Structure 1
Amino acid sequence: MRHFFTFCLLLGGFVLEVRAQSPLIAPKPTESVKEIEFRDPIPFGLKPVEYGKGTLSDPVTAMNQRLENQTLKLEYDAEWGYLREVLKALKIPEASQLMVYSKTALNPRLIKPTNPRVIYFNDDVYVGWVPGARAMEIASVDPLRGSIFFEMDQQPAVQPRFVRSERCLSCHGGSSSLRVPGLLVRSFLTDQHGRPISGYSQISHDKPLEKRWGGWYVTGTHGEMVHLGNIFGKAAIEESKADPAYRANLKKIDQFVDTVKYMNPHSDLVAHLIFDHQVHGHNLITRVSMEQQLGLRSDVEDRLVRYLLFMDEAEITSPLKGTTDYQSWFETHGKRDSQGRSLKEFDLKTKLFRHRLSYLIYTDSFSKMPEPARLRILRKVYSFLNATDVDLEQIWEVTPDRFPMEEREAIIQIVAETLDRRPDFWK
């Protein structure tokens, strides 16, 4: 069982939000912290979190306000409804499109291998759309309250709006999302209709590729590495057992689905990799934030530190490549230091990123979490990046050759030049 090392720093209690743009109130020294287990439920309906009542500051709530103020107008399209306009307004690239055909979400009667659901996303927002569905689904990450779920009707309206929905919490508030309002990435082999047969209910960058993407279409090349994508129906499942490379390295999927119904004919492999990393990362960040606000403490902060640093990332043994311009779009949107380096630079040969500290440290969900928790996590990250070879092995259980000093020094310098509100200890 993995050992999680904890530094004694700024052990805090409750943190309150005054209003959307107000600074966080520091915890009182006399407030106690209750120790809990990582998988224990979080009472996120209670103050100060008040998931169902509190003031929100997520991107979709902000966009709704623009619609209310009539500073934003969405044009209806007979083919796409409001989808294309919403993606444009939220700055979500169409190249992020992922296709999922397993019946593990809303609209199971519509979703199937010939009519998959598509997901589009950026660093903070996720949009789901199914051909023929009444509404578009949106999950938007709020800094203090986690994933907020909305729907937008796809019929023409004088004043289209995002309507908040909490029915999603029956699935998006359970163990797979770490007991907080969060997101899910699952991997299930399915029958020919998309009904799940067997698989994994929680996917992250720690899972080997051979366990990922069951129930999803995947376009891209991955050499001799294998995955569970593009496999559905009893015959295909049996064929893939005999030949693990069956339906691998596909550059198109129009043999399975009429891709004319979608904005593009891709379910890009690189976008899949980012999606797998980002979803679990957001859930960990939300759990840290809520524990701090509610005066609770598990080992989730140590888990988040390991995750942000990709310490347990699954090995990549062949070059990976997608089929769209998503990779270049993603890299273009990375903050760069004076040497042009970014935490969003891909490697895709032996690891996901060239500089292994997650870009999620720039998102609102991380930067606006209660300050005591943010500082503790950044100090642990900084301590790891400055660790001796002995400490890497004895404390962090990472061999020096797996995370060389040259890479760690580059990360320190990148963050020093690009992170807003960089703490004083980060030199």
Structure 2
Amino acid sequence: MRQALPSAKRVRTATVGLILVLLAAADRNNVAAAPIEFEREPIDYQNAPVQDRIHQLKQKLERGEASLKFDERHGYLPAILDALDIPISSQVLVFSRTSLQIRRISPDTPRALYFDDDTYVGWIPGSDVIELMGTDPQQGEVFYTINQERAQPARILRDRGQCLICHASSRTQGVPGVLMRSVFADSRGQPQLGSGTFSIDHRSPFENRFGGWYVTGTHGDMRHMGNAISRDRGAPQKIDREAGANVRDLSGRFDVKRYLTPHSDLVALMVLAHQTQMHNYLTLASYETRLATHHDGIMNAALDRPDDYVSDTTQRRIASAGEKLVRYMLFCDEALLTAPIAGTSSYADDFQERAKRDSQGRSLRDLDLKTRLLKYPCSWLIDSPSFDALPPPVRNYVTARLREILTGKDESGECDHLTQQDRQAILEILTETKPDLWKADAGNR
């Protein structure tokens, strides 16, 4: 006897049940270490339009509205830094083989990185490409290359997957992002991965930072892993930190004349360490909110709920991503300095010159460099297209939490590192330099 086909109602009920199980599993496993599904809707990372500054330059080149001059020594590097308004003083040098161009990187030919708030450029002497990374307000980090051949006009190509092998992992909060690693590197620049590696951000102990990087600058009696080669394969952790400390001149280590500047500025490295993960937390907050809202849309249609219904699961996901962003933005777990630091280039001044200042001359870009990175511990990237483009639910959550913390209404103790003076100064700076910020949470007060 043939079994009766299930009714449409039972099919729908079964489908809803399966979706609920899957969403519950996603909620239980919603941790930063888990890769996030971003190749499909609603993110559609590879196909959705982007508007990062690299893409904008790419379009201008293709339309003939811009051109890049080829330099005999550095190819298109000076021209692209000029076109993107990236300061040469931002140059930092990494000699560990932790890039796709591993065969070209070594302590003799470190990879030079140049950056500003949302764009990154990587150059290696003799390479036939320059690596580029732009921050799109919706999609996060987008990866490109530009050719280095004089006979061909400058052409920017988007990477379609290779970079994501490393740049979309637990080290980047599971989203297409930026990472900065510290490794034990041997004389060829090869990381000795069996000895461990460290992801670097402002929470990292100073002694675990900059392994595999050159560092120029002073830092008193603090010690880092930079400028040091692991000579003993059996005990790579025994690098000579003293030989790499308080280095001002790299000319005895490799041919610095091949680079745009002889510096790998310590202050630039400190700024880079903060903003890389800040980008990632912004992207995480955007992705999680969009994914959760998308899932709610599916469930609302399946269960005949109102279109604007927000599930408990979605609220938890938004709050989780928002709280991570707030804590990181306010430097809640910053590893404090025990000695003053200083760089060797003009980078610190160049960074601060780009500031928006309030009527008292204060800015979130004011550097401290004595006991912590910033004088007023709130990320300057709060004033960025990526923050402004956050989906309203998570943006409202973040601004409401910021107001609670900065006005002293928060009693969780999560940000006890902020003094009353810190909170008042940050609140006043934001109110004057980003007055639209508080409109987002006006309905929550």
Distance 2:155 2:359 in 1: 42
Shift of 1:181: 0.6
Paired residues, what number? 390
Shift of 1:40: 2.5
Aligned residue number for residue 301 of structure 1: 322
Aligned residue number for residue 182 of structure 1: 177
Aligned residue number for residue 81 of structure 1: 75
Q: Output one character per residue of 1:168-194: Cα deviation in whole Å (capped at 9) or x when no partner.
A: 111111111111111110000111111
Distance 1:173 1:239 in 2: 28
Distance 2:330 2:165 in 1: 31
Distance 1:269 1:350 in 2: 15
Question: Do 2:228 and 2:240's aligned partners in 1 also have CA atoms closer than 8 Å?
Answer: no
Distance 1:137 1:333 in 2: 25
Question: Do 2:225 and 2:244's aligned partners in 1 also have CA atoms closer than 8 Å?
Answer: no
Aligned residue number for residue 27 of structure 1: none
- Report the TM-score, using the length of structure 2 for normalisation: 0.83
Task: Give 1:234's match in structure 2, choosing from 231, 236, 240.
Answer: 231
Matched, 1:256 2:256: no
Aligned residue number for residue 313 of structure 1: 334
Distance 2:355 2:101 in 1: 35
Task: Give 1:360's match in structure 2, choosing from 372, 381, 389.
Answer: 381
**What code does the residue aligned with 2:413 have?**
W
Aligned residue number for residue 301 of structure 2: none
Shift of 1:59: 0.8
Task: Give 2:49's match in structure 1, choosing from 55, 59, 62.
Answer: 55
| Structure 1 alignment gaps of length 5 or more | 1-31
Question: Do 2:136 and 2:142's aligned partners in 1 also have CA atoms closer than 8 Å?
Answer: yes
Distance 2:285 2:210 in 1: 27
Higher alpha-carbon Rg: 2
Distance 2:396 2:151 in 1: 45
Task: Give 2:163's match in structure 1, choosing from 149, 165, 168.
Answer: 168
Matched, 1:276 2:304: no
Question: Do 1:113 and 1:194's aligned partners in 2 also have CA atoms closer than 8 Å?
Answer: yes
Task: Give 2:112's match in structure 1, choosing from 111, 118, 123.
Answer: 118
Query: Mapping of 1:384-423 within 5 angstroms?
Result: 384-387=405-408, 391-392=410-411, 395-399=412-416, 402-419=417-434, 421-423=436-438
Distance 1:398 1:416 in 2: 20
Question: Do 2:230 and 2:237's aligned partners in 1 also have CA atoms closer than 8 Å?
Answer: no
| Structure 2 alignment gaps of length 5 or more | 1-22, 293-313
Q: Output one character per residue of 1:231-270: Cα deviation in whole Å (capped at 9) or x when no partner.
A: 0131699899496433200001111110011001100000
Distance 1:239 1:231 in 2: 10
Question: Do 1:239 and 1:246's aligned partners in 2 also have CA atoms closer than 8 Å?
Answer: no
Distance 2:36 2:184 in 1: 31
**What code does the residue aligned with 1:340 have?**
G
Task: Give 2:92's match in structure 1, choosing from 95, 98, 105.
Answer: 98
Shift of 1:68: 2.4
Q: How much identity, in percent, do the aligned residues show?
A: 39
Aligned residue number for residue 208 of structure 1: 205
Distance 2:266 2:233 in 1: 20
Shift of 1:202: 1.6
Question: Do 1:81 and 1:154's aligned partners in 2 also have CA atoms closer than 8 Å?
Answer: yes
**What code does the residue aligned with 2:431 have?**
A
Shift of 1:217: 0.2
SS at match of 1:136: strand
**Range 96-105 or range 150-159, more displaced:** 150-159
Distance 1:375 1:359 in 2: 18
Give the structure, 1 or 2, with the largest relative contact order (CA under 8 Å, sep 6 or more). Answer: 1
Aligned residue number for residue 4 of structure 1: none
- Report the TM-score, using the length of structure 1 for normalisation: 0.87
Task: Give 2:34's match in structure 1, choosing from 17, 35, 40.
Answer: 40
Shift of 1:48: 2.0
Question: Do 1:224 and 1:245's aligned partners in 2 also have CA atoms closer than 8 Å?
Answer: no
